[in-house]
Amino acid sequence: MSPHPAPTAPRPPLRVALAGIGVVGGGVVRLLETNRDLIARRAGRTIEIVAVSARDRHKDRGIDLSRYRWEDDMDALVAADDVDVVVEMIGGADGSALTLARHTLGAGKALVTANKAMIAHHGLDLARLAEETDTPLKYEAAVAGGIPVIKAIREGASANEIARVYGILNGTCNYILTQMERNGASFADALAAAQAEGYAEADPTFDVDGIDAAHKLSILAALCFGTRLDIGAVAADGIRGLIAADIREAEALGHRVRLIGMAERNGDGLYQHVQPCLVPADHPLAYVPGALNAVVTEGNFVGRLFFEGAGAGAGPTASAIVADIIDIARDEYGPAFAMPVDSLDAAPVADAGARIGKHYVRLIVEDRIGVLAEIAAAMRDAEVSIESFIQRGTDEEDGVVIVLVTHAGPARAIHAALAILAGSDHVVSTPMLMPILAL
């Protein structure tokens, strides 16, 4: 009943071409060289790099590429008769990465990519192309680096209706947040430290504003819910607005601050939001340290699954890329989003305001008579029920820090209260609003 060749039949090598040899590409070369024999045993055939291509042939990459054919033109990888799989590690949602991906799949060759931006923006088109040419399209490395979470959801949890998927999808932000936790550092100082350590880029926008996490979340949501990938429907708030007091007050409330990407089925709609959240101390996400990533799924039979590991870096990313290549070598693959593109649902965007939950609100206000009454009135008028109210009496951040925790209620109410307070002369800076993760 199996489509697989009999185990005695020797299988020809799987021939791989690498496009884009940066940090990750170097990791893939090293991995395929270091673990060559082991991989051949597991894949049932050898996996051979036959050609490489990148922009600058003469750049020192710290690895010996001389044994592989060099192509200045990436399209030559697609055209070559001796290439079965093209690995795209160029990056960027569009441009030459997308062109190469389209040409590869169009030519009926397998594509492996680590490119979350490209998958988030063009994943459906690429998956359709892969279906038309009956070709594998694999992207394990695009989400949560070395954690095999695409496989865990697509296959491991495939029997379950998933209620929600969420996690720590950006290691840079988690590194910054755990630095703020440990040292009481400001966001700016923690970011500078992360940049010095190589955990954050000179321009950190993609990471700290939640864009990178949004790309990954949109991919997870499509897989979990069988919905059409829709990056435009993902709301993203980053961590720039956090101050040291937020981390401290969260801790005092028995929580930790994490940048959480959350996708949830909400009636007929789909809620997708990346934002800083308060995570209870008895939730495993509260213990994810440094630059690690972690993903949680909640299935109707399996319950909660939790996966943690390195979300970036040459080794972990190469591990995910080569796992995809091994799947292809074994002929163990199927539709990129677990089912044909045409059978994915177009879920409407959920009404985020209707979402029920507890919230953390931090305000910085002027230290004068009447401010407290103003805040209390805004909450009352917006029908926000307050569980706790903390004013420590210290003056920092050019004002007094006030922290509210609401009872569970619709997000819309708290937004309305903040809209009222936005008109106040006494609220010094933009309030910080964080959902409190429900277990």
Binding-site sequence positions for NADP(+): 19-26
Supply the DSSP string of 10-64, one letter for each residue.
--PPEEEEEE--SHHHHHHHHHHHHTHHHHHHHHTS-EEEEEEE-S-TTS--SS-
Rule CB under 8 A: which of 87-116 touch a copy of itself?
Answer: 108-110
Distance CA 69, CA 407 (A): 63
- Active-site residue flag, 216: yes
Distance CA 298, CA 157 (A): 9
Site for a copy of itself (CB under 8 A): which residue of 90, 100, 129, 147?
Answer: 147
Range 376-385, long-range pairs (CB < 8 A, 24+ positions): 378/417, 378/418, 378/420, 378/421, 378/424, 379/404, 379/406, 379/417, 381/417, 381/420, 382/413, 382/414, 382/416, 382/417, 382/420, 383/409, 383/413, 384/409, 384/413, 384/414, 384/416, 384/417, 385/409
- 3-class DSSP state of 2: coil
Site for a copy of itself (CB under 8 A): which residue of 25, 26, 238, 299?
Answer: 299
Q: Determine, following the binding rule CB under 8 A, whether residue 84 of this chain makes contact with a copy of itself.
A: yes
Site for a copy of itself (CB under 8 A): which residue of 11, 45, 69, 330?
Answer: 330
Pairing of strands 85-88, 14-19: parallel
Q: Determine, following the binding rule CB under 8 A, whether residue 181 of this chain makes contact with a copy of itself.
A: no
> Quick one: which segment of 18-26, 150-158, 173-181, 209-217 binds a copy of itself (CB under 8 A)?
150-158
Site for a copy of itself (CB under 8 A): which residue of 146, 167, 238, 435?
Answer: 146
Site string for a copy of itself, 14-43 (x = CB under 8 A): -------------x---x--xx--xx-xxx
**Pick the catalytic residue: 59, 109, 151, 216?**
216
Of 62 and 303, CB closest to a copy of itself: 303
Pairing of strands 162-168, 137-138: unpaired
CA distances from 69 to 60, 75, 83, 180, 261 (A): 17, 14, 11, 47, 41
> Quick one: which segment of 64-72, 154-162, 178-186, 351-359 binds a copy of itself (CB under 8 A)?
154-162
CB of 249 vs a copy of itself, minimal distance in Å: 23
CB of 292 vs a copy of itself, minimal distance in Å: 9
Q: Determine, following the binding rule CB under 8 A, whether residue 322 of this chain makes contact with a copy of itself.
A: yes
Rule CB under 8 A: which of 211-270 touch a copy of itself?
Answer: 226
Site for a copy of itself (CB under 8 A): which residue of 16, 52, 320, 418?
Answer: 320
Of 260 and 296, CB closest to a copy of itself: 296
Active site residues: 216
